[in-house]
Chains A and B, each alone.
Chain A
């Protein structure tokens, strides 16, 4: 059924730390690697080595430049570069689920994960229209809708060592910028992290109530002395003397 559950037992999701993300795209690669050979249809590429390559990705990293406003204390504030990974936010009020005409899209009662049953998907694309985050992509080879499964085939997979039972993007992140857990439980590590760091919803005005949370970048440090070694690096000889002085004067005259 494409009606949404009134509540879910758990709210599994991701917490993404925009302060820590270095924009290395490792999560993009590991996501594509895991998901192209596991749950559902592969994530195809079109013209991958040609002039106009494109393909299906469940996770993409944007980069934004944020320019703070000038103040009297800081007349020329430096712009801040923020790397911004984006995948399905597994919304509580997921508009992509209710628009699905076939019942292929659904939100699980037990953990809140939003999934697509690909054998029921007719590839109408309406769920992608309904998603404000661009989390769903139609696979051009398979004609079905692909989206983040929160690595549902990893997190419950007893064949994997325990430390691997997290989404591939979380497991691979070298900066520790991605965290996985139950955001419905206020005592979970991820919930504590969100409370501590003022985690935020993306596009709250869209009314989707996203489960995934984003931790905003911390304010940048400001230093009075730019470089403590600078006074020691003053040039010793102001005017060249001797042979160099003669060379300098001669070349000036030419």
Chain B
């Protein structure tokens, strides 16, 4: 799959942003006034900034509002509904904290649940794709939620929770990669089933439909970065999980915490680049590629 910058930015930033909103909704940290304003500003910048980035890859962003209508069948539509609901509820909750010094706890819990639901709907957009065997697993939502909670805890200053969740998320990431490497072979889809010609013999792509490239090849048959995949996985693990863990284990300082947060976001962005670049769409089989 083509690793579009807008979608990598969206899943990385929004995942972290909704993670922060989750912790703020639970009252962790229990802040009010201008301190609360600072936390909410960071959370909204990440969550809403990511959502805005995701509209950049649309062919017609001006019609994006129509995407709220098909929540009965479409995970993308559900994500739109859940994200707006989470942002509105947490906006009211945050305004009460900042301007009235009042914590409306049930509203916070609702907002936390909606923030988590938003991350879940995002992950299901990918996890539902039978065409991309590497994504089609319950581990995908587990990974997205674990990363979001860990990143949220890190940015919300929940040191103990962040350390535990970073370890868990790192483990899930490794498991996700291990399962993913055999997913296409295990899916049962190959050139024989794609063409239905497997009964005759070994199928080889002889000539593509056109000598030039096309939308399908550009969008689904991205193979450029795969040769560096192993190195990039180590970079993602080191920056996204290991380095933040080490920095959190040191005596607390704001500089170390900020460095941990930046390192985590960069590491997650690298892992999301791999999430797309390594994903093999079955349409590639028609071109003898994967």
A and B interact physically: yes
Measured CB to CB, the residues of A under 8 A from B are 1-3, 18, 28, 52-57, 60-69, 77, 79-82, 84, 86, 95, 97-104, 120-126, 128-134, 137-138, 140, 142-144, 200-207, 214, 216-217
Interface segment among B75-83, B175-183, B225-233: the answer is B75-83
Contact of B194 among A54, A80, A123, A202 (CB under 8 A): A202
In the complex, A123 Cα to B57 Cα: how many Å? 8
Instruction: Given A2-B70, A202-B194, check contact A62 B282 (CB 8 Å).
Output: no
> What are the residues of chain A within 8 A of B80 when measuring CB–CB?
101
Do A64 and B212 form a contact, CB below 8 Å, given A99-B74, A143-B60, A203-B194?
no
- Determine if A62 and B208 form an interchain contact, defined as CB atoms under 8 angstroms apart: yes
Expressed in whole angstroms, the Cα–Cα distance for A206 and B128 within the complex equals 12
Q: List chain B residues, Cβ under 8 A from A216.
A: 196-197, 199-200
Residue B45 lies at the interface, judged by CB distance under 8 Å to chain A: no
B210 interfacial by beta-carbon distance below 8 Å: yes
Q: Please, which residues of chain B bring their CB within 8 A of the CB of A128?
A: 215-216, 219-220
User: How far, in angstroms, from A54 to B66 measured CA to CA in the complex?
Assistant: 30
Q: Mark B198-226, 1 if CB is under 8 A from A, else 0.
A: 01111111111110111110011000000
Q: Which residues of A contact B72 (CB under 8 A)?
A: 1-3
Residue contact A54 to B64, C-beta cutoff 8 Å? no
B204 touching A122 by the CB < 8 A rule?
Answer: no
Residues of B within 8 A of A81 (CB): 206
- A225 → B minimal CB distance (Å): 24
A122 touches B70 (CB 8 A): no
Q: Which of A63, A103, A120, A130 contacts B206 (CB 8 A)?
A: A63
| B214 partner residues in chain A, CB cutoff 8 A | 54-55, 57, 60, 137
With A and B bound together, what is the CA distance between A180 and B286 in angstroms?
A: 23
Q: Roughly how many angstroms separate A129 CA and B128 CA in the complex, as a whole number? A: 11
For B191, the closest partner residue in chain A by CB is A64
List chain A residues, Cβ under 8 A from B1. 129
Once the chains bind, are A54 and B212 in contact (CB under 8 Å)? Answer: yes
Q: B215 and A131: CB pair below 8 A?
A: no
Q: Which of A66, A82, A101 has the most CB of B within 10 A?
A: A101
Nearest 10 pairs of A and B residues by beta carbon: A123-B59, A143-B59, A60-B209, A68-B201, A101-B67, A101-B77, A134-B283, A102-B66, A101-B76, A63-B207
- B253 contacts across to A, CB distance below 8 A: none
Q: Which residues of the partner chain B approach A82 to less than 8 Å between Cβ atoms?
A: 195, 197
- B209 — which chain A residues lie within 8 A by C-beta? 28, 57, 60-62
The answer to whether residues A122 and B63 also contact, given A64-B195, A67-B204 and a CB cut-off of 8 A, is yes
Contact of A66 among B129, B188, B201, B219 (CB under 8 A): B201
Assembled-state Cα–Cα distance A131/B286 (Å): 13
A131 and B66 within 8 A (CB): no
Q: Are B202 and A66 in contact (CB under 8 A)?
A: yes
Is B70 touching A138 in the complex (CB atoms < 8 A)?
A: no
Closest to A65 in B: B206
Known contacts A86-B286, A102-B67: A126-B59 contact under CB 8 Å: no
Q: What's the least CB distance linking B242 to chain A, in Å?
A: 32
Contact call B193/A204, Cβ cutoff below 8 A = yes
The answer for the CA separation of A206 and B184 in the assembled complex, in Å, is: 12
Q: Cβ of A99: which chain B residues have Cβ within 8 Å of it?
A: 73-76, 125, 128
A122 touches B215 (CB 8 A): no
- Asked if B58 is an interface residue, CB under 8 A from chain A, the answer is yes
Tell me if B132 is interfacial: C-beta within 8 Å of chain A: yes
A102 partner, pick from B69, B128, B216, beta carbons under 8 A: B69
- B36-77 vs A, Cβ < 8 Å mask (1 yes, 0 no): 000000000000000000000111110110111110111111
B205 x A64 contact (CB < 8 A): yes
Per the bound structure, the CA–CA distance linking A241 and B220 in Å amounts to 68
- The closest CB in chain B to the CB of A220 belongs to B200
Can you list 29 A-B pairs, Cβ within 8 angstroms, ordered by A? Answer: A54-B212, A62-B287, A64-B195, A64-B197, A64-B203, A64-B206, A66-B203, A68-B200, A77-B201, A84-B195, A99-B125, A100-B74, A101-B67, A101-B74, A102-B67, A103-B69, A121-B60, A122-B67, A124-B58, A126-B125, A129-B129, A129-B131, A129-B219, A131-B283, A132-B194, A134-B286, A144-B59, A202-B195, A206-B282
Given A98-B73, A128-B219, are A202 and B196 also a contact pair (CB < 8 Å)? yes
A62 touching B207, Cβ below 8 Å: yes
What A residues does B202 contact at CB under 8 A? 66-67, 69
B102 sits at the interface (CB 8 A): no
Smallest CB gap from B204: residue in A: A65
**By the criterion CB–CB under 8 Å, are B283 and A123 in contact?**
no
Q: Is B187 an interface residue, CB under 8 A from the partner? A: yes
Within the assembled complex, what's the spacing in Å between the Cα atoms of A55 and B212?
9
Report which of A63, A130, A134 forms a contact with B216, defined as CB distance below 8 A.
Answer: A134
CB of A123 within 8 A of CB of B58, answer yes
Q: Does B189 contact A (CB under 8 A)?
A: yes
Chain A, residue nearest B66 (CB): A102
